[in-house]
Amino acid sequence: MFVLAIETSCDDTGAAVLLNGRRILSNVVSSQVSVHQKYGGVVPELASRKHIEMIVPIVTEALEEAGIRLKEIHGIAVTQGPGLVGSLLVGLSFAKSLALAARLPFVGVNHIEAHLSAIFLEEEPPRFPFIGLVVSGGHTSLFRMDGFGKLKRLGQTRDDAAGEAFDKVAKLLGLGYPGGPIIDQLSMTSSTKPIRFPRACLGKGSFDFSFSGVKTAVVNFVKAHPWSPEGLSEEMVRNIVAGFQEAVVDVLVKKTIQAAQHEGLKRVVVSGGVAANRLLRWRMAEEASQKKMRVYIPSPIFCTDNAAMVGVVGYEYLKRGMRAPLSLNAFSNLPL
């Protein structure tokens, strides 16, 4: 079964063609980083406009790269939410129009489930059930996943998502956007002891997260120390971001491992844009190994938003005979 997948949940326009939900024939992504960089974050209106501009050429490129004509496609999968509603509507409206014109079935896919399912694009995916951590600029949540469409949320962020906190700290320090990769790189060059910032545990037995506190701690640290007229030294910036990153990663790893122990599971999946962070990948693997667990993390290219992960879920749904009506709407908050 050939599935055309479309992803426009935030600021990346993506289209992919998958064979039987596993073999990627094409996976095209148009990034908007240059559009939003000067604002230090995604501007929803600008993101929507760019999606409108790019959706046709990106889908066309995906079909051409796959060597597949539209009439050979068996179904369409598109992100329905959660995300920026204006961005979501561009992809969803295009998918519905294409499905109607080509008389193809289509399904809406939850962006969070798509992130967790990106691991099935790897050569050795896990078996169900497993604990899944989705950690990105817009989402930080823990799930128990027993199958496609069978997810139980165990915890979520109560304020900032981890990736959002990375972006805000990077903006505070004038490092640029997106903040995650920049902080990751700078942290690797920290030559002295990183600054220690607080970790929010939120009570015994809680699998929820909170990252606004550590972000505020960074702000207060910068304000409380008199620096030279030229501002922070490069070494101090490295130590600040290294300490901040360690605080975030410590909480992510601790909560995820605790959730796996609570559920009696030995398999952990980490997904989302922040899953590309090198410290998180290393610490999660190390901690899981100590607890006799196995951790699965997609390749960095599948951690960030892409349409191939949408195609994995879409294929599973289409194979079951699921169909979405043309009245399907986009939702900025779409529960699982």
**pLDDT per position in the chain (336 positions), as tens?**
999 999 999 999 999 999 999 999 999 999 999 999 888 889 999 999 999 999 999 999 999 999 999 999 999 999 999 999 999 999 999 999 999 999 999 999 999 999 999 999 999 999 999 999 999 988 999 999 999 999 999 999 999 999 999 999 999 998 998 999 999 999 987 667 889 999 988 878 899 999 999 999 999 998 887 665 566 788 889 999 999 999 999 999 999 999 999 999 999 999 999 999 999 999 999 999 999 999 999 999 999 999 999 999 999 999 999 999 999 999 999 888
In whole angstroms, what is the distance from residue 181 CA to residue 186 CA? 9
Tell me the whole-structure pTM to 2 decimals.
0.93
Q: Hey, do 2-116+303-319 and 126-297 end up sharing a CATH topology, with the first three levels equal?
A: yes
Say if residues 249 and 277 touch (Cβ distance below 8 Å). Answer: yes
126-297 belongs to CATH 3.30.420.40: yes
Say if residues 30 and 305 touch (Cβ distance below 8 Å). Answer: no
In whole angstroms, what is the distance from residue 72 CA to residue 209 CA? 45
CATH class of the domain comprising 2-116+303-319: alpha beta
Q: Where do the domains of the chain lie?
A: 2-116+303-319, 126-297
In whole angstroms, what is the distance from residue 21 CA to residue 19 CA? 5
H-helix segments, 103-191: 111-117, 162-172, 179-187
Comparing C-alpha atoms, which of 40, 37, 11 is closest to residue 173? Answer: 40
Strands laid side by side in the 140-147 sheet = 150-156, 140-147, 130-135, 267-271, 294-296
In whole angstroms, what is the distance from residue 47 CA to residue 53 CA? 10
Comparing C-alpha atoms, which of 57, 161, 66 is closest to residue 112? Answer: 161
Give the model's pLDDT for residue 232.
79
Say if residues 162 and 140 touch (Cβ distance below 8 Å). Answer: yes
* 156 to 34, 226, 263: CA distances (angstroms): 30, 36, 16
Task: Kindly report the number of other CB atoms within 10 A of residue 196's CB atom.
Answer: 11
